[in-house]
Amino acid sequence: MSARPLILVTNDDGITAGGIAALVTVAREFGDVLVVAPDSPQSAQGHAITISVPIFVRESDALGEDIEAYECSGTPVDCVKLAKSVLLDGRTPDLCLSGINHGSNAAINILYSGTLSAAMEASLEGIPSIGFSFLNYRADADFSVCLPYVRHLVDFVLANGMAEGSLYNVNIPDLPAGQIKGLKVCRQAEARWVEEYVKAEDPRGRPYYWLTGRFVNEDTRTDTDAYALEQGYVSLVPSLHDLTNHRALTSLQIIESGLQPEGVTYTDDAIEKKQQLEQF
């Protein structure tokens, strides 16, 4: 008999959050589970890591005494790094699941999200990873509507693998199960946050600022995660950590053919391209 898959589970809402308990429920059906999650909410931490203070890790029974679980004083990315470098003791997970997050991580939110950054950190280590988010911000959110989609994707990835260096960003609309139309594989919408800061004063008269804002979707096309969610579908965006603007690479070759600034040395390839262009 083959060994059961090893599944690493984490999140950014903290080890006592309802979303991580839902993920663990599904993960246990497919393999052995290790949970490493923050000991307090760490939303919007992005890919932050802790370098200026010690990180504390201790065993936790928040998810049941029969679950191997640890709570960490650091960020979601710290949790994955510690799991890989310390707690797994040389083992490599077959899959990493992060979430289920309270609220959307569609579109530009992937850059701010601790949930998706934890999954991305695992993908950097070559571990197939899925970040799950539920468009419900209530503390008492019912995650049962998410479970069939979590189950389906875990089963699919364990059976078929995932493209190297890739991860899935999955968002689930806040709808009754019977009203969700299915799952759409799509691209990340080109959207942004327009920030506003509310200014106030503390009791000592010192000014402080509270961040607020609104989400603006400037993408009118119908192949995006934002559109899929608006139409009642679960969105799945295959994502990468490569932030290169590949569309600009070709057009920027002209820079290599220009005058050489003082103190800048061109590579041999750049010099050859420059000479070729000068022939025309």
Which residues make up each annotated binding site for a divalent metal cation? Answer: 12-13, 43, 101
Query: What is the chain's percent helix, strand, coil content, to nearest 5?
Result: 30, 25, 40
Cis upstream peptide for 55 (omega within 30°): no
- Residue 206 to residues 200, 203, 210, 212, 217, Cα–Cα distance (Å): 8, 7, 13, 20, 36
> Known binding site: residues?
12-13, 43, 101
Neighbouring CB atoms inside 10 A of 130's CB total: 25
- 131 CB neighbour count, 10 Å cutoff: 33
Q: Are 57 and 73 in contact (CB under 8 A)?
A: yes
Query: What are the distances in angstroms from CA 123 to CA 14, 44, 142, 163?
Result: 21, 19, 28, 10
Q: Point out which residues pair with 57 in neighbouring strands.
A: 72
Torsion of CA 117, 121, 124, 126, to 10 degrees: -120
What's the token pair of residue 207?
Answer: 């000014």
